Structures are given as structure tokens and as C-alpha cells.
Amino acid sequence: MIVVELAGTPLGKGRPRFMRATGHAYTPERTRNFETNLRLAAQDAMNGEPPLQGQLYVNVEAYFPVPQSWSIKKKSAAALGMMQPTTRPDWENIAKMLDAFNTIVWRDDAQIVEGRIAKYYSDRPRLRVEVSELRVEK
């Protein structure tokens, strides 16, 4: 199993932006920076190993900071796992950030055949991704 962990508040993939004058599309800088950091974390986790082959299972856990404006009671509930984030980014945009793993952790994200994405609150915000090969039993 490969585990990639990136400290900091997880981001979802930002929508492409367009320049009015030329119609040129570009990825927002914040998204590019996060993907770059995620790619570097993936390279560290792979430790020089080649990309995984075959069918893959991915478990994504996104840990978000507890809002400071919340009451003590609500903060405690979040810390105990009794509340989970229902705010942006949505799970789909978190998953899109895994494009950063292409050619590093796997050849292509089309290899992912099963997966799970969960959002939690934590006093240590981070994105944690576990990738494992699925063994096909015959």
C-alpha cells in the first residue's frame, strides 16, 4: 500500500479560468500549487518505485480545520467525529486533485476501479490518500 499525506487544508480542483481577450483557459494558481505539492508528496511516498500497475483501490481522507467561530460544544462534537464537513470543496473536486498522481503513483487514474472519499474535522488539517493494488482471484 502507498500512503501519501499532504499537510494543510485540502483543496478541491478549481474550475478553469478564461482570459476574455484571447479565450485562453488556465488553471487557477492555488490549484496548480496544491497539485505540485501533492505530486512532490507522491514522489516521496513512491521512493523511486515505478507507478503501480493493474486495478487500484483508493481511500481518500480529507481533514479540515474546525471553524474557530463555532461554540465549544460544536467544536467538541467535531473533534469527537460526531460532525463531518458538509461544506466545499465537494468530494468530487477533492478526487479530481488526484490527477497529480498520474505517472507517479499510477500510470493513469483510469486504473482506479474502487474507492472511498471521506471528509472529517481535525486539529491537524491534511489530505491522506491510500492506494493499493486489487488482487483478482480466479
Per-residue pLDDT tens digits for 64-117:
999 999 999 999 999 999 999 999 999 999 999 999 999 999 999 999 999 999
CATH number at residue 65: 3.30.1330.70
**Based on the structure, what is the number of domains in the chain?**
1
Burial class (CB within 10 angstroms; exposed 0-12, middle 13-18, buried 19+) of 126? middle
Whether the model pTM is above 0.85: yes
Confidence of residue 14 (pLDDT cuts 50, 70, 90): confident
Q: Kindly calculate the radius of gyration of the chain based on its CA atoms and give it in whole angstroms.
A: 17
Whether residue 101 lies inside any domain: the answer is yes
Whether residue 110 lies inside any domain: the answer is yes
Q: How much is the average pLDDT of 41-68?
A: 97
| Rounded-to-integer distance, Cα 90 and Cα 93, Å | 6
Q: Which domain does 18 fall in, by range?
A: 2-133
Q: What's the confidence (pLDDT) of residue 138?
A: 63
Q: Which residues, at least 6 apart from 116, have a Cβ–Cβ distance to it below 8 Å?
A: 58, 59, 60
Whether residue 138 lies inside any domain: the answer is no
Lowest mean pLDDT among 11-15, 31-35, 71-75, 80-84: 11-15
| Nearest partner of 102 among 94, 111, 93, judged by Cα | 111
Lowest mean pLDDT among 3-7, 18-22, 129-133: 18-22
User: In the predicted model, what is the mean pLDDT of the chain?
Assistant: 93
Q: What's the confidence (pLDDT) of residue 16?
A: 74
* 33 HSE (CA, 13 A, CB side): 7
Greatest alpha-carbon pair distance for the chain in Å reads: 57
Confidence of residue 125 (pLDDT cuts 50, 70, 90): very high
